[in-house]
Structure 1
Amino acid sequence: MTEPIAVTREMIEAWADDASGPVALHLRQKLLPVEGEDGVIFPPTYADIGYNIDTLSDGTKVATIDSVGSQANRIEPLFKRPELAPLVPQITIRFGNEKSVSLLDIGHRLADAAVRNSTLADEVRSAFEALQLRGDAEPIARLAPTSLVFGVWDSRGGGSKVPRLINSVIRAWQVEELTRSAVYIPPVDYAALEVFSEEDRETAEGNTKSPLAQKGFVHVPAGRAPGGILARGGIFRDVTVNLVALRRLNEGLPNGPTLRRYVLGLTLVAAVTPQDGFLRQGCLLAPDPAAPAAWVSVGRDGARTPVALPEQLVLAFAESAAKGFGVAPPRTVEFSSDRARRDVADQKAGTTTGRGGRKGASRKSAASEGDDGDEG
């Protein structure tokens, strides 16, 4: 195997600015269930289809373990960690006196209804307009640079669309589906205690729609539900950093180099920071120590060059780039129920609160893990 090239600060700067440079960085990481190679894992379940399993032309079955949108939603909150928080503006949206939510936890980022109907709305609209009218992404970077890293679509406003710079997905290969069955047995015979009649018990047992079954008063069997999968061909996480899309940010504008280096620093931090492998109940994954992950730089000619991309170097570059760009201090903005009611009324009337004059439609999927499709 070719010895990886040690990445330097100068190389990272060139990635941000050199149009003849590599088109992407790619990482393939093999993962294992904590139970071992033959451990059973549970993919996300989606409305109407259950597990998302595709069958290829050769019969190979491939299961989605964590989608692109879901991975983005897991990675973005890493920037709330104390060591990473200074890299991005920390904006909190307060919903009255009851609840506060970090912008880093909001799925549609700057285009979310929670943001659109807050006191941040006018700044956000102006930022999207700057991108749409002048190709200037700096106002977005000043507010929420992770919207540039993970992508954002102002589908309910002016229609501005920013492609994600980092694409991460986890798939399992050559999968076999399992099923599981169960039965609930109440601790006592409630009919014998005259909570209800014996006839009521006989009618309700086995009927999951029965009120007595739903309240846990009678036996309730559950047969042949999805029981996870075995991944005979391994579980792999693929991470791609799109350097072509990065270089298009503020291309030809005086503030372009500073902006691109700042956003690239954040993107690389998102790419190399280790993830928590607990994806959902029954799906706890860890890297396979027998198959170390390896980054490659993909050239315009398709050549794949192994590169060493240490986390410490990436963080140092990101910190320096953030200092050069200037990160706004933390702030709290207020959600407006009145503004939200007007937003709902406008939508019902077939209009939109954005100035683009385009009626937006939600594309949020019904995935159980909160995947939000192309907007995540």
Structure 2
Amino acid sequence: MEALYERLAGAASGLSADGAIRVRAQYEPVAGVGAPVAPPTVKVKQTVKDPATGKDKEVDGPGQLFEKRWVGGNAVQVVLLDQRQSQANRCETALLEAVDLGEAVVPHLALHVTAQGRELRMTNLDAPHRSRDAYFRDALDEAGVKFDETDTGRALRDAGTGDVRPFLESAPSDLVFGIWDSHRKRRVQLKVPRTYTSEMVGLHPLSGKRAAGRFDKWNFPGDHVELTADGWRPVEGTGKKGKGKTLRASAVGHGMIPPVEGMGGVTVQAIERNATLAMAGLRALRFGDAPKEYVRAGRALLAALALLGDRLAFAAPAVRLRSGCDLLLVSERIEWVGRGREGVAVTEPLELDTAGQALELFEFARSRAEEAGLVWSKEPVRLWPNAQVQQAIERSFRLEGIGEAEGE
């Protein structure tokens, strides 16, 4: 493990011919090649016929992401099955689980909330904008001091690209997966690009269709209901019978919904995951006036953290991206990518197949960084919401009667 660490440390500081670590993996649906898989549904521009004018117009509607890419020298149609942001979130979730299980020590922020008898927690490993999220900006420490005015909060708030030590010491995963301090008003906002990137695509997709509806076992009578102060009541016909809002019964969870055609899954020829850890990104991180040993060990530790997240999230025999998209790992290659020769990048296998191996490398890197002067707390920075956030969260979980269903 020491030899692997030394090579990683040299690459992360630009002192070797290694420019990146790359993961290439092949998957297939758990039901077998040719079975449909479900891409994420996103808002896309669609062309529809305007019934009033008869002309085409563009509207926003649900869709899937298709594009062309060069694969093996050919322009190939692909469908995105998991984008970079989503893959990063999967790594962060896996890291947080390892922290909760006591398998790894990763400093992080933790916002604790009690709402309607529920104990809730948000960390920079699962917040939308990581440690720069507005939830942490609007948080308080145990003494009621605004987080941005605490020692840790002020250090993170005032950090610049010339010295990211506060992030290495308090929220290191932010430096791996990228941050943008867009919630604090200033002319120059801190941005740190991600050094780890991963993406999953399906090649040569064929779109499918599906028909979805709902059967009401008791054949609920009437097509419409009226919302009332204490719930709802059935009404006859479609006209307004009282003071409440009149809706179709299906909007409050009752009645029949006839099957209607909608987007289905896609069938693909192959599924690929491509991940990279860019050494140039790690080399670009600056740590102020820290000693060379600290800088070298810090960059190596971040590289080991990225590899640990990748292995925790993707080394398993199968992954679930979402309902209808369970995938089986059929092949994987992890490799060093170095300076090219005669127009071809030089690659060499990197033996780091399991999460256990990645955890061993990470612990070795952590011990070396601590020897170089890095201090990592085993406990998170604990925070609580301010009054406004607490009130808003309470509203989110408060039961306020019958609501209209947003969709089936």
Compute the TM-score of the two structures, normalised by the length of structure 1: 0.76
1:256 to 288, 295, 308: 295
Does residue 1:11 correspond to 2:27, yes or no? no
C-alpha separation in 2, matches of 1:114 and 1:161: 18
**Aligned amino acid, residue 216 of structure 2:** P
Higher relative contact order (CA 8 A, sep 6+): 1
Query: Which position in structure 2 is the counterpart of 1:352?
Result: none
C-alpha separation in 2, matches of 1:77 and 1:85: 14
Query: Which position in structure 2 is the counterpart of 1:165?
Result: 195
What is the RMSD computed on CA atoms of the aligned residues? 3.1
1:317-372 deviation digits (Å, cap 9, x = unpaired): 3112212233212135233324769xxxxxxxxxxxxxxxxxxxxxxxxxxxxxxx
1:149-175 deviation digits (Å, cap 9, x = unpaired): 111111122510111111011111100
Does residue 1:131 correspond to 2:160, yes or no? yes
C-alpha separation in 1, matches of 2:11 and 2:384: 39
C-alpha separation in 1, matches of 2:10 and 2:310: 18
Query: Which position in structure 2 is the counterpart of 1:153?
Result: 180
How many residue pairs get aligned? The number is 324
Does residue 1:236 correspond to 2:272, yes or no? yes
**Equivalent position SS for 1:9:** helix
Deviates more, 1:238-247 or 1:99-108: 99-108
Displacement, 1:62? 1.1
**Equivalent position SS for 2:78:** strand
**Equivalent position SS for 2:104:** helix
Does residue 1:174 correspond to 2:181, yes or no? no
C-alpha separation in 2, matches of 1:53 and 1:223: 24
Query: Which position in structure 2 is the counterpart of 1:54?
Result: 67
C-alpha separation in 2, matches of 1:164 and 1:193: 52
Does residue 1:282 correspond to 2:328, yes or no? no
- Contact 2:19 2:279 (8 Å CA) reproduced: yes
1:281-331 deviation digits (Å, cap 9, x = unpaired): 11111201xxx2112222233523122232454322311221223321213
**Equivalent position SS for 1:333:** strand
Q: Structure 1 59/249 Cα, relative in aligned 2: closer, same or farther at 3 Å? A: closer
In structure 1, stretches of 5+ residues that fail to align are 1-5, 202-208, 342-376
Q: Structure 1 219/304 Cα, relative in aligned 2: closer, same or farther at 3 Å? A: same
Query: Which position in structure 1 is the counterpart of 2:129?
Result: 108
2:27 to 21, 31, 34: 31
- Contact 1:38 1:230 (8 Å CA) reproduced: yes
Q: Structure 1 216/306 Cα, relative in aligned 2: closer, same or farther at 3 Å? A: same
Q: Structure 1 55/192 Cα, relative in aligned 2: closer, same or farther at 3 Å? A: same
Deviates more, 1:20-29 or 1:31-40: 20-29
1:267-294 deviation digits (Å, cap 9, x = unpaired): 1212333436111111111201xxx211
Displacement, 1:55? 4.6
Displacement, 1:128? 4.2
C-alpha separation in 2, matches of 1:59 and 1:18: 34
**Aligned amino acid, residue 178 of structure 1:** G
Structure of larger gyration radius = 2
C-alpha separation in 1, matches of 2:16 and 2:285: 16
- Contact 1:96 1:335 (8 Å CA) reproduced: no
Displacement, 1:217? 4.5
**Equivalent position SS for 2:160:** helix
Displacement, 1:127? 2.3
**Aligned amino acid, residue 186 of structure 1:** D
Q: Structure 1 7/238 Cα, relative in aligned 2: closer, same or farther at 3 Å? A: farther
- Contact 2:156 2:166 (8 Å CA) reproduced: yes
- Contact 2:24 2:334 (8 Å CA) reproduced: yes
C-alpha separation in 2, matches of 1:116 and 1:165: 25
Deviates more, 1:100-109 or 1:256-265: 100-109
In structure 2, stretches of 5+ residues that fail to align are 44-60, 141-146, 225-232, 240-245, 391-408
Does residue 1:245 correspond to 2:281, yes or no? yes
**Aligned amino acid, residue 335 of structure 2:** V
Displacement, 1:125? 4.1
Q: Structure 1 124/21 Cα, relative in aligned 2: closer, same or farther at 3 Å? A: farther
**Equivalent position SS for 1:277:** strand
Query: Which position in structure 2 is the counterpart of 1:73?
Result: 89
**Aligned amino acid, residue 329 of structure 2:** P
C-alpha separation in 1, matches of 2:311 and 2:223: 61
1:226 to 233, 247, 263: 263
Structure 1 consecutive aligned stretches of length 4 or more whose deviation exceeds 6 Å? 192-195
2:309 to 252, 265, 270: 270
1:50-69 deviation digits (Å, cap 9, x = unpaired): 11122569874311111100
Compute the TM-score of the two structures, normalised by the length of structure 2: 0.71
Query: Which position in structure 2 is the counterpart of 1:327?
Result: 376
Q: Percent identity?
A: 24
1:216-243 deviation digits (Å, cap 9, x = unpaired): 55432232211100012x0111111011
